[in-house]
Structure 1
Amino acid sequence: MSGRSSGLELARAKMVDAGVDPVAIETFAHYYRLLEHGETGMIPEASIEPVDIESIADVEVPDDVAAKAIAETVAIKLNGGLGTSMGMDRAKSLLCVRRGLSFLDIIARQTLHLRREYGVRLPLVLMNSFRTSADSLAALARYEDLKLPDLPLEFRQNMEPKLLLDSLKPVEWPKDPDLEWCPPGHGDIYTALRGTGLLDQLIEQGYRYAFVSNSDNLGAVPAPRVAGWFAASGAPFAIEAVRRTPSDKKGGHFARRKADGRLVLRETAQTLPEDREALADLSRHQYCSTNNIWFDLHAMKATLDAREGVLGLPLIRNEKTVDPADPTSPKVVQVETAMGAAIEVFEGARLIEVGRDRFIPVKTTNDLLVLRSDVYEMGPDFSLDQVAANVPYVELDDNHFKVVGEFDKRFPEGAPSLAKASSLKVQGDWTFGPNVQVVGDVELDGKGVQRVPAGEVLSGDPSGSDA
């Protein structure tokens, strides 16, 4: 037995001991074999061409079609993330975002509002990781009507061992054994839905469509109009897309594969270094994913059954250190897949362009500042409405603002007004007093501890000089 193969056997044994679902173990083995054969998951620019897609704004969706579709929909939120990049060690969705409400508070209220307005059951189910489950369920316990009597409020995503970069053997880290494990990327949702029995349960109870989105995207409401479009399309699978802007540097984009005409989602991690320029060309690749996904439960079940539970999504090979907070800890490979990559598995899959109001992700404290500001208003339906003409570009100094605790200290009275801002760039250690306004393009720079006084209007000319 070769060292590499024994790595798979060791990983398999470790997963069995931890009680991981057998199909999840087979799925992991599928990707392990790709990894040891040198598969990188790269999608060369020469193999794809740009896509053009229809817009939801131009589609006719009769009210009765929308109402019927939302009555047959289940909302699933990806809730496995810890917000480690913002210095958090618990579910990111517990972060306070507006008026003392967390992401989960707002999601629960959005769901309850839609149920009342449309007279539908609309189950809300979280896909939690082993690290986010307890905290998240405790936070939702106050919403007594949220859990439906015959469906769970959560299912767990699977976990897999991190592999040492040089040997592909499972890493051992006695200091914190939890760090020996990682989630298999959000592409695991399909495996987990099937393995937990939830997919069959939903179908038995008469649900037809799933709407899946990230818990850190408060724009991702299961809108009846979009549900109606998807139901009428007859497609097995669809993703909501938005036009890329300069702030979408990190995200993937959609394209069409020349070989078979299938739609594909290319992530940054699947782009060759020599193709980075084409990736960044917003005039060539115009659409990126919101990670708001619709699929037909029957089509998903039939496809998973035919493939014995292994959907066969493209591999994403993610190199990290075993302890993300310690760059000197051993280098590991995490085998991941992206949920949206399933678009290439389904014949007849569709894309639909939606407004930017359905894509308000919070990946950094820069995004959090915009979300907490007056760029958005929260309506009585708990949806976020963009009231400013534009979403400003915000870039805060990582040394002082990257971690939520430090960020909060520097905005003790809340976010400044950004409704008239084009951009805000902050270098150095600045604390903002109450009722500060940012107008146009503003840059703050300075040595030592600095303060923006209460009521200050910071205005800059379009060239970007500060007040």
Structure 2
Amino acid sequence: MLPNVNAEDISKLLDKLVVVKLNGGLGTSMGCKGPKSVISVRNDLTFLDLTMQQIQHLNNIYGVSVPLVLMNSFNTDDDTNKVLKKYANVRVQVHTFCQSQYLRINRETFTPLVKDLKANDHEAYYPPGHGNFYEAFYNSGLLQKFIDQGKEYIFLSNIDNLGATVDLNILNYIVNGSQKPEFVMEVTDKTRADVKGGTLIQYQSKLTLLEIAQVPKDYVDEFKSISKFRIFNTNNLWGNLAAIKRVIENNELEMEVIVNPKHLDRGVDVIQLETAAGAAIKSFRGACGINVPRSRFLPVKKSSDLLLLMSNLYDINFGNLTLSDDRSFPTTPLVKLGSQFDKVNDFLKRFQSIPDLIELDHLTVSGDVWFGRDVTLKGTVIIIANHGDRIDIPPGTLLENKIVSGNLRILDH
């Protein structure tokens, strides 16, 4: 709750807001089929479930109707719309629209992968990054629809970032602050785990997002330096709807194109031309970055991220994840899991139950490792099974500042 602001004023703020989630990604990198947003995170609740709970809670408390908008890709649209049917009785207006689809370009010939545009070849197309949001949102008709309803601002974030909840302080700053920025990017302090994250720089007297893909190879180490670039973009973005409309209609949207090379299963090297939503920052008046706590950046890109969110490190309340009060310091552990844990199904099989991580600082697991029930990990724990060996951590084990290696199998008799 905002200090010195009553619930009625908060309701007026929220009445101006639209929440947008980027929902174009598949869960393929984690071995899942379909949209990443339907991966179970905690207690069988998916990213989409938790997002719906967050918005419904806001709407119930303040008597408002903050709508949720999902930007799908052609990869996720059908599956997402099927899943949405289960929320028919939830007090959240949900809208979906599809981002553009572009033709993949053959890296050798610089020609489209397909010659016949009518061919039903999904692999020949790609969604062109979340920078496509502004034009796709405008073209969907939703932008004008929300403006007509009296909505004024959007909060845009990745659906797999469970820290990206509606922050009333930021909303209040945008609406009632003296600066009235048309665009706000949430940034947070960089750690050694975030060296690839895009950062804000001043370029030609404008605030600009610099992504690692835009950095020449000779300067990549400098870009990754924590001392030189201390913050990175969380991709939690706030924007003014009228300003987005103006920028699109006046053809003022400037975003650097990122060349993303890919190797397809069919053995062809292609290039994809993409843009990042945060790169639009230089197109808006009074745009700024706001340094936010790390708790607002909890993305799930790998099974190691999932392990943290599934553990007792986090409490869940109305879809909101907060670091447990039982943890004595506010940083999250650094977790590195080997390739055997990459796919979600394999990852889940290897844990009879998720270990107690409240006092964990660092965990490295490599090789064929299996965890029994009620395991507790504290301090720095390194578990390495050599090639051909297997390690079983017995039920009820406490590992504190331990290195376990070699071959360890405890068999029940």
**TM-score w.r.t. length of structure 1:** 0.80
2:410 is matched with which residue? none
Corresponding position: 1:72 with 2:10? no
1:419 to 335, 352, 358: 358
1:366 to 304, 307, 310: 304
Aligned to 2:256, the other structure's residue is in SS state coil
2:342 is matched with which residue? 402
Task: Report the structure, 1 or 2, having the larger strand content.
Answer: 2
Identity of paired residues, percent?
35
Aligned to 1:191, the other structure's residue is in SS state helix
Q: Which runs of 5+ in 2 are unaligned?
A: 406-413
Residues 344-368 of structure 1, C-alpha deviations (whole Å, 9 max, x = no match):
1113101111111111000111111
Partners of 2:94 and 2:312 lie apart in 1 by 36
Corresponding position: 1:128 with 2:72? yes
2:187 to 224, 230, 241: 241
Cα contact 1:397–1:428 (8 A) shared by 2: yes
In structure 2, relative to structure 1, the CA distance for the partners of 1:102 and 1:188 (3 Å cut) is same
Partners of 2:185 and 2:11 lie apart in 1 by 20
Amino acid of the residue matched to residue 409 of structure 1? Answer: K
Aligned to 2:369, the other structure's residue is in SS state strand
Partners of 2:291 and 2:370 lie apart in 1 by 39
1:20 is matched with which residue? none
- Identify which range, 267-276 or 201-210, moves more after superposition: 267-276
Amino acid of the residue matched to residue 401 of structure 1? Answer: F
Partners of 1:336 and 1:152 lie apart in 2 by 27
The answer to which structure, 1 or 2, has the higher relative contact order (CA under 8 A, 6+ apart) is 1
Partners of 1:414 and 1:90 lie apart in 2 by 25
2:255 is matched with which residue? 313
Q: Which runs of 5+ in 1 are unaligned?
A: 1-58
1:445 to 366, 371, 384: 384
Aligned to 1:135, the other structure's residue is in SS state helix
Corresponding position: 1:155 with 2:97? yes
The Cα shift of 1:374 comes to 1.2
* Paired residues for 1:39-438 under 5 Å: 62-63=5-6, 66-146=10-90, 153-172=95-114, 177-233=121-177, 234-257=180-203, 259-260=204-205, 262-307=206-251, 311-323=253-265, 329-379=267-317, 381-387=318-324, 388=327, 389=329, 390-398=331-339, 400-411=340-351, 413-438=352-377
Residues 406-452 of structure 1, C-alpha deviations (whole Å, 9 max, x = no match):
111112x3321111111100111111111111100111012322211
The Cα shift of 1:167 comes to 2.0
Partners of 2:353 and 2:153 lie apart in 1 by 39
Partners of 2:373 and 2:184 lie apart in 1 by 44
**TM-score w.r.t. length of structure 2:** 0.90
The Cα shift of 1:271 comes to 1.3
Partners of 2:238 and 2:4 lie apart in 1 by 16
Partners of 1:81 and 1:243 lie apart in 2 by 26
1:39 is matched with which residue? none
RMSD: 2.2
Partners of 2:240 and 2:375 lie apart in 1 by 48
Size of the alignment, in residue pairs? 394
